[in-house]
Structure 1
Amino acid sequence: MPDVETSTPVQSTQRVMICPHCECPAIQEVKGVVVVPKDDPEDHDSPDFEYTLLRCTDCREASLQVRELWFFASLNEVTKFAYPAQRQLSLDVPTELRREFEEARTCFEAKAYTAAVVMVRRTLEGIGVDNEITERPLARQIERMKSEGLIDQSIAEWADSLRVLGNQGAHYTGRQVSREDANDAIDFAEALLDHIYVYKKRFEEFKKRNVAKSTPPITT
């Protein structure tokens, strides 16, 4: 069990952000901070976690914010709400992609729906780059991901729909991106990240375990 470092903030400490309860820009009073270190202090590939208890000065609801603290200062820290409950991306998803996705979600929470779908499109591009698929335009990148078995036909259709929506956000068309479309884009992007970095990996591990179980022991 790792040690837990705690600190009591000054009573007047405040943060300004979109409240996850009333969804309005508001001052959040900091009521307490706890830092939970990783199990191995020498493991620089994993973050510590800082939990901050906040209370909105408008709706008076409490929330819990969590921030990743990385050893290397050059890494941007991912900040999100642990309460009210919001499904979090697995740490199996590369940090850079989680950062892009969290920025999309931050834009959505700020009601910047066009910016949200643009960040989703950047996340799609990042998935290709992370898997050494760098063709341009993005449509060819998605087709290559499908041909190499990274995604199947139905998920390729999701990805292409996100690409089209991202193009609508990135280029002036005179049309606004709706809240519903932005929300769907974020949900589909989350499912895509889970499919590639979480479920495929777990399935491969599952198959390896079953092969090992079915292999008869070597006797001498």
Structure 2
Amino acid sequence: MNRQQLPKKSDDVLPDSTSPYGPCPRCGRLSNFTVEGRGPVTYTDQMVVGQSGRTERLFDEQVSILRCNGCGQNTVVEEEYLGGVRRRDGGNSGLCQWRGVRWWPTIGMRRGDPDVPQRVSDAISEGARCVAVKRSKAPRAAAVMYRAAVAEIVTDRGSPASQAKGSLADQLKQMANDGDLDRTTADWADHVRIVGNAGAHPNELAPVTLEEVEGLGRLINVIVDYLYVHPARVRRARGSRS
């Protein structure tokens, strides 16, 4: 067994039961988490004597429930066993280490926000699911879906002149010229487009990393909040005072 402790993970990596800190998939804040419970998912063919004195099956995948100490909501994490000494006697016989491979809800997933067009929300959610499945190495698919979300924004908010342009890059430039996007937001959207192109054409452009698309997911959500969510909230707040 590997008795060496895993290196400390970065604060911006999603939490698991071994390292219960990081961004909360529900509230989005960096937070510490409390492990509320665990349960086995995939068993091995090995047996040990457990704390109860009975023979128990070992498992190399488990689910953990983590409660965010910020918002108080739970996240379910599927984890794989990476090393350490199994607790065969029910005591502290060693450090058993796990790493998360899937999270629910997925960070960045937009869950039916009524202020966001459905096609925009669906593209972002699909990209977020690709990010969550770390074991499948799907950052390119995530980048492509985030780019698709930008294209849906053009369809929803762009003028006929913008939509008539032959490329997404030119469409975003036209939207900025028309005032449908301010220059900063257009620049952010163009960055999503560029990384999405790299995901769609891996043989022609530099490969897309998982860390890159995690940042891209945060960026596309900022864009959507700025364009749709916050203006709608302001309108409702003003309406409540009229």
Task: Give the TM-score range, shorter chain.
Answer: 0.5 to 0.7
Q: Secondary structure at the match of 2:104?
A: strand
1:152 aligns to what? Answer: 182
Is contact 2:75–2:104 with CA below 8 Å preserved after alignment? yes
Q: Secondary structure of 1:108's partner?
A: helix
Find the aligned partners of 2:114 and 2:40 in 1 and give their Cα distance: 29
Q: Cα distance, 1:162 vs. partner?
A: 1.0
| Unaligned stretches of 5+ residues in structure 1 | 1-19, 24-53, 66-79, 213-220
1:97 and 1:183, CA in 2 relative to 1: closer, same or farther beyond 3 A?
A: same
Aligned residues: 147
Quote the Cα distance in structure 1 between the aligned partners of 2:142 and 2:178. Answer: 28
| Structure with higher strand content | 2
Match for residue 188 of structure 1?
219
Deviation at 1:117?
0.6
Q: What is residue 169 of structure 2 aligned with on the other side?
A: 139
What's the CA shift for 1:185? 1.0
Compare 116-125 and 89-98 and name the one that shifted more: 89-98
Question: Aligned-pair distance for 1:150?
Answer: 3.0
Mapping 1:35-54, distance limit 5 Å: none
User: Are 1:127 and 2:153 matched, yes or no?
Assistant: yes
Larger Rg: 2
CA contact (8 A) 2:140 2:199 kept: yes
Partner Cα distance (2:170, 2:217) in 1: 21
The 3-state SS of whatever aligns with 2:181 is: coil
Distance 1:184 1:97, change over 3 A: same
TM-score, length-scaled by structure 1: 0.56
User: For residue 124 of structure 2, what is the aligned residue in structure 1?
Assistant: 101
3-state DSSP of counterpart to 1:91: coil
Query: Alpha carbon RMSD of aligned pairs, Å?
Result: 3.2
Amino acid at match of 2:127: A
Q: Please give the secondary structure, in 2, of the residue aligned with 1:183.
A: helix
How many angstroms does 1:86 deviate by?
A: 6.4
Write out per-residue CA displacement over residues 78-134 of structure 1, whole angstroms, 9 at most, x where no aligned residue: xx934x886745331122211111110011112311111111111100111122542
How far 1:151 moved relative to its partner? Answer: 2.4
| 2:220 counterpart SS class | helix
- Matched with 1:61 is 64
